[in-house]
Amino acid sequence: MRPSLRRHAALIRREIAAARTVVLSFPKAGRSWLCYFLARYLAEQNGEPLDLELLAPGRGIPPLVFVHEHADVFQDRWAPARLLHEDLLVRKRIVVLARDPRDSLVSWWHHKRVREGRPVPAGLDAFADCPVYGIERIAECTALLLDLYERHPGDKLLVTYEGLAADPDTRLREALCFALDGRPLDERSCRAALEASRFENMREWERGLTPVEARTRYDSRFGPRREGELDEGHFKVRRGAVGGFETEMSADLRRRVTGLPHTAALIERLGGLVPAPPGQRYDELQMTAAVGRA
């Protein structure tokens, strides 16, 4: 591993070591949604402006960190899929977020190509085949996290993006209760955070940020990264539709990716998710969030 990658991995390890609860996901699986909700809960509780960094010190919620684990270090380069910090993670309380890899792929393509402006394939078909960003890597890395969840000996929570979209109030409340780890829930702050975290409200909030606010207050994790008229691909909160890949993938690409080994296995593992009609969300939960204790 190159020295710069080793330093990045060491930083992630220190963050995991300092946390009580670790939220794990591959990118585009709902992390920003959950992070925003938890940070909004603390802001409401403390009567302070929204601050995404409130989660780390343990103010109101025991110290919590969001990581992509392997993908934090090797996000823009190929490397064999493996967990880098499993020895630490098995001693932490964990939340694993998962999503249909077809929807993750489409969102990842927009994020890398438009929001980050990286020189990735301009076409979705080529992006899907890319060894660094493509759907097989998404599926394989997500499966690593699900494997960890299954063998984890302690407190754990599994949430799918599809579950969040189907019943955000229930799923976000469950995640908050898990993060609180026995601390009392502030019902007023929870209700306010749930309202602010409705997808349409998050979308409106993000589009109201200036590039300067996005950079200085939120480290460009939300908000526009440049001035001017921007389409939805420039924002973190983009569409939120489950099954949205149906309108972005060609029929040939949809058939092809579902025949790929890691992708097919993950779709089956997530309960054989059937996409909602184009542009709509699931009207029922396909895979419930699961809370477990060994």
CB-based contact 267:258 (threshold 8 Å): yes
The contacts found for 190-198 with CB under 8 angstroms, 24 or more apart, are 190/41, 192/40, 192/41, 192/44, 193/37, 193/38, 193/40, 193/41, 193/43, 193/44, 194/37, 194/168, 194/169, 196/36, 196/37, 196/40, 196/44, 197/33, 197/36, 197/37, 197/40, 197/168, 197/172, 198/168
Tokens of 190: 């929870």
On whether the pTM is more than 0.75, the answer is yes
What would the two tokens of residue 23 be?
A: 């939220």
User: In this prediction, what percent of the chain has a pLDDT beyond 70?
Assistant: 91
Q: Per mean pLDDT, which range of 13-27, 49-63, 137-151 is the poorest?
A: 49-63
Least confident of 46-50, 139-143, 183-187, 268-272: 268-272
Q: Report whether 148 contacts 24 (CB < 8 A).
A: yes
10, 29, 1, 171: which is closest to 97 by C-alpha? 29
Q: What is the pLDDT of residue 284?
A: 31
DSSP SS3 for 208: coil
- The residue-averaged pLDDT of 15-28 equals 95
Measured at the CA of 174, the angle between CA 169 and CA 177, to 5 degrees, comes to 125
- Annotate 214-277 with DSSP letters as a single string: HHHHHTTSSS-SSSS---GGGSSS----TTTHHHHS-HHHHHHHTTSHHHHHHHHHTT-PPPPS
Which residue would you say has higher pLDDT here, 92 or 276? Answer: 92
Give the residue-averaged pLDDT of 48-74. Answer: 85
Residues 141-168 pLDDT 10s: 999 999 999 999 999 999 999 999 999 9
CATH classification at residue 108: 3.40.50.300
Domains of the chain: total:
1
- pLDDT (mean) for 27-33: 91
On average, the pLDDT of the chain sits at 87
Residue recorded with tokens 């409340």:
173
Q: What confidence category does residue 221 fall into, taking pLDDT thresholds of 50, 70 and 90?
A: confident
More reliable by pLDDT, 203 or 102: 102
pLDDT of 58: 73
Nearest alpha carbon to residue 69 among 59, 79, 61: 79
Least confident of 108-117, 228-237, 280-289: 280-289
Residue 72: its pLDDT value, please? 82
Instruction: Name the band, by pLDDT with cuts 50, 70 and 90, for residue 292.
Output: low
Q: In the predicted model, is pLDDT for residue 275 greater than 70?
A: no
Compute the chain's Rg from CA coordinates. 18
Model pLDDT for residues 224-272, shown as the tens digit of each residue? 787 877 767 777 777 777 888 999 999 999 999 999 999 999 999 997 4
- The yes-or-no verdict on residue 10 having pLDDT over 90 is yes
Other CB atoms within 10 Å distance of the CB of residue 140: 20
| SS3 category, 141 | helix
CB 194 within 8 A of CB 215: no
Beta partners for residue 51, in sequence order: none
Residue 222: band (very low, low, confident or very high) from pLDDT cuts 50, 70, 90:
confident
Phi/psi at 291 (nearest 5 deg)? -110, 130
Mean pLDDT on 214-226: 81
Q: Which of 138-152, 159-173, 206-220 has the lowest mean pLDDT?
A: 206-220
Q: Which residue has the higher pLDDT, 187 or 282?
A: 187
Residues 19, 183: Cα–Cα separation, whole Å: 16
Residues spanned by the domain of 14: 3-292
Q: In DSSP terms, which residues pair with 98 in a beta bridge?
A: 160
